[in-house]
């Protein structure tokens, strides 16, 4: 196995593993998840713990435990925790095979990048932990590689492992693997048959991967993909049951009223889409109904959508069709039904605020004098659900607590401030990762609540060698950070 001490794994924060994401999907599946406010979370294979640290910062009354078998990464993570003065998180150097039921019960267990990448006995132990250390209504998250999509990657991985049989140093293995990929790419540069074109794209993709991700994805001793139906059969042996997936298929036409048929249909969908990766949520009780998401559950959730439109309020209330775009300029909805236009318009006006469904309905009834009846409400819920499936709507059962306005002495997320000092990607309070420019990174470092706007501007301009900032430019950047959920009250 490659050394995680010599080649540390990525320090990413995975928004899809945050408790809000897991609990929100569970609610859409008519499953009552553990409350997030005081949740207990265990992450297996936590690396430096950045993912858990983000949770600990945004859920101060929760308790978070991470384990990893790399002394270097655990030490780095604990140093970061000390700098942030977090008291609700523990990172431990530990082999997951030593965990017993006495280790404690957790509401959420997360294993990102573990299942496919460990020896079969460790994989079995991972599932045993999800059974023995998960609360009765808890949720486990597992990511894993799947067939048939992984088959092309598997072929290239076998070439690399064959080439590196006599190389033991992790750094040397990485170097020689990249050299081989370049040679393979050059050797087929003159070929334009379908197979060569496909292989060229795959080789270029691998060459562009970050070294640490490439090394642990393609050069590890173990990387065993499975068919989805095989995965389900294995987890059922540990009295674990399928809840849902992070990425759901939008085509419901093949769904059956029989849950076993549903697993088969999911497998057919994997074949048709050549799926190579899944992120699956498991629970300890069998789900009686077919695992479809219930769009009416949005009534119990809060929501936010980054929408914009050039339409006026009079057009919203007319019978005209109106388009709504995301912030990248792509049209995500073109609607003529007044109730749907009113909801989209309301969401565009309040963003980045997060309001619950009833608050949205109350706003459109109050501000636009629009009455929402039962039929309208069902139409709205179904429409919002489709926006959620296309990732144009965010749903929350535990909305993040960030400040929408810029105070006289603004405060940025402590984790983001520390990340900006390290010159790395920074994470906002919604768990999203940003690569900010140098000036914005410098600005974040001054947002500790101890400096006024004029003091921040002075500090910032002392650090800039040219193109000094004006007060209006500072205000623009501060408003941007507020809109992107970096500021706290």
Q: Both 207 and 305 in a single domain? A: no
The β-bridge relationship of strands 322-326 and 331-335 is antiparallel
Residue 41: beta bridge partners?
64, 108
Residue 453 lies in a domain: yes
Last residue of a domain, one of 373, 396, 419: 396
Last residue of a domain, one of 241, 260, 283: 283
- CATH number, residue 267: 3.40.50.150
Q: Both 42 and 124 in a single domain? A: yes
Residue 290 lies in a domain: no
User: Phi and psi dihedrals of 291, rounded to 5?
Assistant: -75, 65
User: Listing from the earlier edge strand, what are the strands of the sheet with 322-326?
Assistant: 307-308, 322-326, 331-335
DSSP code of residue 130: H
Sign of CA dihedral 75, 80, 82, 87: negative
361-to-65, 230, 375, 383 alpha-carbon distances in Å? 39, 44, 13, 14
Residue 207 contacts residue 181 (beta carbons within 8 Å): yes
Residue 271 lies in a domain: yes
Residue 107 lies in a domain: yes
Percent of the chain that is helix, strand, coil (3-state, to 5): 45, 15, 40
Q: Both 26 and 122 in a single domain? A: yes
Residue 53 lies in a domain: yes
Task: Note the pLDDT of residue 117.
Answer: 93
Residue 240 lies in a domain: yes
Residue 202 contacts residue 184 (beta carbons within 8 Å): no
Closest CA to 388 of 25, 13, 2, 11: 25
- What span, in angstroms and rounded, lies between the C-alpha atoms of 479 and 27? 33
CA 307-308-311 angle, to 5 degrees, is: 135
Angle, helix 357-367 to helix 338-350, in steps of 10 degrees: 100
Q: Both 39 and 165 in a single domain? A: no
Domain extent for 58? 15-147+225-283
Q: Both 213 and 261 in a single domain? A: no
Q: Both 333 and 308 in a single domain? A: yes
- What span, in angstroms and rounded, lies between the C-alpha atoms of 325 and 308? 5
Q: Both 329 and 458 in a single domain? A: no
Write b or e for each residue in 247-274: b if 16 or more Cβ atoms lie within 10 A of its Cβ, otherwise e. ebbeeeeeeeeeeeebbebbbeebeeee
- When divided into structural domains, the chain yields a total of 4
For 192-212, the three-class secondary structure string (H helix, E strand, C coil) is CCHHHHHHHHHHHHHHHCCHH
- What span, in angstroms and rounded, lies between the C-alpha atoms of 115 and 117? 6
Cβ atoms within 10 Å, residue 346: 22
Q: Both 276 and 323 in a single domain? A: no
Question: Within a 13 Å sphere around the CA of 13, how many CA atoms are in the beta-carbon half?
Answer: 27
Residues in the chain, total: 489
Positions of the chain with pLDDT under 50: 1
Last residue of a domain, one of 396, 430, 458: 396
97-to-44, 107, 123, 127, 391 alpha-carbon distances in Å? 11, 20, 9, 11, 37
Q: Both 45 and 119 in a single domain? A: yes
Task: Note the pLDDT of residue 256.
Answer: 53
Q: Both 56 and 200 in a single domain? A: no
Task: Note the pLDDT of residue 252.
Answer: 53
User: Phi and psi dihedrals of 485, rounded to 5?
Assistant: 65, 45
Q: Both 320 and 305 in a single domain? A: yes
Task: Note the pLDDT of residue 1.
Answer: 47
pTM for this model (two decimals): 0.92
Closest CA to 394 of 420, 345, 438, 431: 431
Q: Both 171 and 199 in a single domain? A: yes
Residue 8 lies in a domain: no
Query: How buried is residue 57: exposed, middle or buried, by Cβ count under 10 Å (0-12/13-18/19+)?
Result: buried
Residue 90 lies in a domain: yes
Residue 213 contacts residue 10 (beta carbons within 8 Å): yes
Task: Note the pLDDT of residue 473.
Answer: 94
Task: Note the pLDDT of residue 475.
Answer: 96
Residue 127 contacts residue 152 (beta carbons within 8 Å): no
- What span, in angstroms and rounded, lies between the C-alpha atoms of 282 and 131? 10
């Amino acid at each position: 196995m490659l050394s995680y001490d010599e080649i540390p794994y990525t320090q990413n924060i995975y928004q899809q593993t945050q408790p809000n994401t897991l609990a929100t999907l569970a609610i859409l599946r008519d499953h009552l998840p553990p409350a997030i406010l005081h949740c207990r979370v265990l992450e297996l294979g936590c690396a430096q713990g950045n993912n858990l640290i983000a949770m600990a910062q945004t859920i101060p009354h929760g308790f978070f435990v991470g384990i990893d078998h790399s002394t270097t990464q655990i030490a780095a993570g604990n140093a970061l925790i000390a700098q942030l003065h977090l008291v609700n998180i523990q990172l431990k150097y530990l082999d997951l095979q030593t965990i017993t039921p006495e280790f404690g019960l957790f509401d959420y267990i997360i294993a990102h990048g573990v299942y496919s990448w460990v020896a079969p006995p460790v994989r079995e132990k991972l599932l045993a932990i999800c059974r023995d250390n998960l609360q009765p209504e808890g949720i486990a998250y597992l990511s894993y590689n799947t067939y048939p999509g992984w088959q092309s990657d598997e072929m290239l991985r076998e070439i690399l492992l064959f080439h590196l049989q006599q190389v033991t140093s992790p750094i040397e293995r990485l170097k020689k693997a990249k050299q081989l990929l370049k040679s393979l790419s050059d050797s087929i540069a003159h070929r334009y048959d379908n197979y060569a074109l496909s292989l060229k794209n795959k080789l270029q993709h691998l060459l562009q991967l970050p070294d640490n991700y490439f090394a642990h994805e393609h050069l590890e001793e173990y990387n065993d993909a499975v068919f989805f139906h095989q995965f389900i059969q294995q987890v059922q042996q540990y009295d674990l049951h399928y809840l849902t997936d992070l990425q759901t298929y939008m085509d419901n036409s093949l769904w059956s009223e029989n849950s076993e048929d549903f697993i088969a249909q999911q497998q057919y969908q994997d074949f048709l889409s050549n799926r190579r990766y899944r992120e699956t949520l498991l629970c300890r009780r069998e789900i009686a109904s077919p695992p479809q998401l219930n769009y009416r559950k949005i009534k119990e959730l809060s929501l936010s959508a980054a929408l914009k439109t050039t339409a006026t309020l009079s057009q919203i209330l007319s019978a005209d069709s109106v388009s709504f775009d995301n912030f990248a300029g792509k049209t995500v909805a073109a609607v003529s039904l007044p109730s749907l236009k009113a909801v989209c318009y309301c969401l565009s006006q309040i963003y980045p605020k997060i309001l619950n469904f009833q608050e949205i309905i109350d706003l459109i009834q109050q501000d636009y004098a629009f009455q929402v009846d039962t039929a309208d409400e069902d139409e709205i819920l179904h429409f919002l659900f489709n926006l959620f499936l296309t990732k144009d709507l965010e749903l929350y059962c535990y909305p993040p607590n960030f400040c929408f306005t810029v105070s006289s002495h603004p405060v940025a997320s402590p984790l983001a401030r520390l990340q900006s000092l390290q010159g790395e990607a920074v994470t906002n309070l919604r768990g999203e990762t940003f690569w900010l420019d140098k000036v914005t990174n410098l600005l974040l470092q001054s947002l500790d609540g101890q400096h006024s706007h004029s003091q921040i501007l002075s500090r910032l301009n002392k650090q800039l060698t040219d193109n000094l900032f004006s007060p209006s430019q500072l205000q623009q950047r501060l408003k941007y950070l507020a809109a992107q959920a970096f500021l706290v009250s």
